[in-house]
Amino acid sequence: MKRRDVLGLLTTGAIGIALPPPRVYAQAAGPQMAALSNYMSAASQQSLPADVAGNAKHHVLDTLAAMISGSRLAPGQAAQRYIRDVATKGDVKGDVTIAASNLRAPPIDAALANGVMAHADETDDSHNASRSHPGCSVVPAALALGERLSVSGEHFLRAVTLGYDVGTRVVLAMGGAKFSYENVMDTHSVAGTFGASAAAACTAGLDAQRMRWVLDYAAQQASGYIVWRRDVDHIEKGFVFAGMPARNGVTAALLVRSGWTGIDDVFSGPDNFFLAYAPKADPGQLTDKLGERYEIALTDIKKWTVGSPIQAPLDGVAAIRGKHPFRADQVQRLKVRVAPSVAAVVDNRDNPDISLQHMIAVMLLDKTVSFQAAHDKARMKDEAVLRQRAKVNLVGDEDLAKLLPARVTVVEIDLTDGTHLSERVTDIRGTVANPMTRAEVTDKARSLIGPVLGRDTSERLIETVYAIETVKNIRDLGQLLRRR
């Protein structure tokens, strides 16, 4: 056999190995996808129940406040540097507001920057059952396309509400909180990408067919891993939780709006999304009570501007103090018991707003925790704070782990006179079981917006959000987000 013949056989074999017979994957949308995409396409024209619309306004305001206050923090500053250095260069038209600045950018870049600012802090809302922060990705995505397309305030509010419904349901189908605790994939970014995609697509007014393609492109972009926990600057976390998903969502909607096509059902059939990431998924969760159960009404708004696992402990200290007033110097020791997986997230972290021991120490001294105190890193070295911090013992309790995703917390305080005080926090303030009032939501927003944009603008922004149905062009809301 000649060398040429041998090479021919090897080449033929290699081709046979590298190029197997093509498989045909085309298929019609399954029942869940059909129901979901039809619902999504109709959402921009469907009125919201009054109580749901009220909840949606609270979450929009809370997210905008997080975005504005986050503009002054390191992730927010990084987002604005990106816009100045990259997104505003060249001939690309930038017409979307970058909150708390005089910058504008194209929709995809604006969604990225505003998303990072919305989760520059631990101020934004959270959906406990899906282990996600919907607002910080959904609202920036809807705002970016809303400004580009000049949609009405009512249209914008419906798009935001849809984003909460879709993003959270995808993660619930994957297994919800249980999936989150058992995997390194980040549920925050997955829910954010699907939620932002749905909100952006609704803002763009896409039909059911195009909604299916948007979900396909959302699935292709779904990513993010909990390695962000190593990030001490919170910048990567802001990207994973919010900036990346918001950008992904606007990208998916704009691609499909421009004529791109995809497959009709990324959630079923060969090689689908769930097979890749969650083989034990329950696709029925995608449409469970869709149109009856609105996830935005089941999403928590934080009372305290700190990480979610610290909310209940602060509530516990406040409750004990309300029943039995005491001074910090009267505390001999303080024990906080939470589920072990919850404790791991906030145990002696380097950033003040996600360090439980530090925030409890501040609470003991200040009798509250303000936004400024939660971000005063220098105070982590203050001798007075360190003395109180040494009294705090964080304990991972396996019995409380059985109650997850409910983050039940027990706070115990021993005073120097021998008094033992205890509080079990089951319903955290700001959760569905113990919601904040409109006045509380407004006060929180005012405290975050006012120092950045000024009192007058803060009040006009709050009034505009509460009257969002009367806004003819969402660009009017965008104008109030700008720094003068």
Give 403-418 pLDDT, tens digit per residue. Answer: 988 889 999 999 999 9
Stretch 220-231: mean pLDDT? 92
Region for residue 197 given its phi and psi (left: phi exceeds 0; alpha: psi -120 to 50; beta: otherwise)? alpha
Stretch 460-473: mean pLDDT? 98
Residue 360 has pLDDT above 60, yes or no: yes
**pLDDT for the residue 3:** 42
Stretch 432-441: mean pLDDT? 96
Environment class of 266 (CB within 10 Å of its CB; exposed 0-12, middle 13-18, buried 19+): buried
Residue 1 has pLDDT above 60, yes or no: no
**pLDDT for the residue 90:** 60
Residue 26 has pLDDT above 90, yes or no: no
CATH assignment, 308-425: 3.30.1330.120
Tell me how far apart the alpha carbons of residues 480 and 461 are, in angstroms, rounded to a whole number: 6
| Type of residue at 71 | S
**pLDDT for the residue 91:** 56
**pLDDT for the residue 92:** 60
Question: Domain-by-domain residue ranges, the chain?
Answer: 31-298, 308-425
Stretch 425-450: mean pLDDT? 96
Share of the chain above pLDDT 90, in %: 86
Give the CA distances from residue 8 to residues 5, 11, 15, 19, 154, in Å, rounded to whole numbers and listed in that order: 5, 5, 11, 16, 67
**pLDDT for the residue 6:** 37
Stretch 155-176: mean pLDDT? 98
Q: Superfamily for 31-298?
A: 2-methylcitrate dehydratase PrpD (1.10.4100.10)
**pLDDT for the residue 4:** 44
Share of the chain above pLDDT 70, in %: 93
Residue 196 has pLDDT above 80, yes or no: yes
pLDDT classification of 87: cutoffs 50, 70, 90: low
pLDDT classification of 380: cutoffs 50, 70, 90: very high
pLDDT classification of 94: cutoffs 50, 70, 90: confident
pLDDT classification of 230: cutoffs 50, 70, 90: confident
**pLDDT for the residue 8:** 43
**pLDDT for the residue 229:** 84
pTM, full prediction: 0.89
Tell me how far apart the alpha carbons of residues 374 and 352 are, in angstroms, rounded to a whole number: 6
Give 333-352 pLDDT, tens digit per residue. Answer: 999 999 999 999 899 998 89
